Amino acid sequence: MSDANDPWLIVGLGNPGPEYAANRHNVGFMVADLLAERIGGRFKRAPKAQAQVLEGRIGPPGPLSRRVVVAKPMSYMNLSGGPVTALRDFYKVPLDHVVAVHDELDIDYGTLRLKLDGGDNGHNGLKSMTKSMGPGYHRIRFGIGRPPGRMQVADFVLKDFSSTERKELAFLVDRAADSVECLLAEGLERAQSAYNS
């Protein structure tokens, strides 16, 4: 069983490379980047894993401060499980201290849902993580909505947010980063009641 001194691994899911940076599928990277900014550090190459990491603390000084590793796997989305498992092993992170931040098609744009455990709902990043280490990790699901008309899901997630969506995006990414901090400091139930909409 994990305890308060165990580190947390916050994984923003996305695809590496500038051509993917503003895609809907990369909202996990956007949240990871903001958390890194708040911690006040820079990502560096991870030891023993195909990922970029930043080590630091999240939360107010004192007993609510948590040791964290914020990570962006540098494999493609459908291979995220390998780098995440390597990071978990290297930093000795219990499974219930892993948090995946990812885009979610089945939720309206900008809606957040926090949960522990569960299926992958067709998300290739989660599918790879669950195959690699089991399903008992936290998820912060960032709603991107369904594709319009007959657009294929793959095309939709690999497109940039629309100009209308971008007006709210910074605020929504900020809120998702807040939800990570709340989860770590106050636990899942408190974070769900504050951020699940």
Q: In this structure, what token pair is assigned to residue 13?
A: 């899911």
Q: Cα angle at 100 between 96 and 103, to 5 degrees?
A: 150
Q: In this structure, what token pair is assigned to residue 73?
A: 């796997």
Would residue 138 show up in a list of annotated catalytic residues for this protein? no
Nearest to 157 by CA among 173, 168, 146: 146
| Residue with tokens 């989660």, as numbered in its chain | 126
Rounded Cα gap, residues 135 and 120, in angstroms:
9
- The single residue of 25, 102, 123, 138 carrying the catalytic annotation is 25
Rounded Cα gap, residues 110 and 174, in angstroms:
11
Amino acid identity of residue 152, one-letter, is Q
Please state the separation of Cα 155 from the chain's center in Å.
21
Active site residues: 25
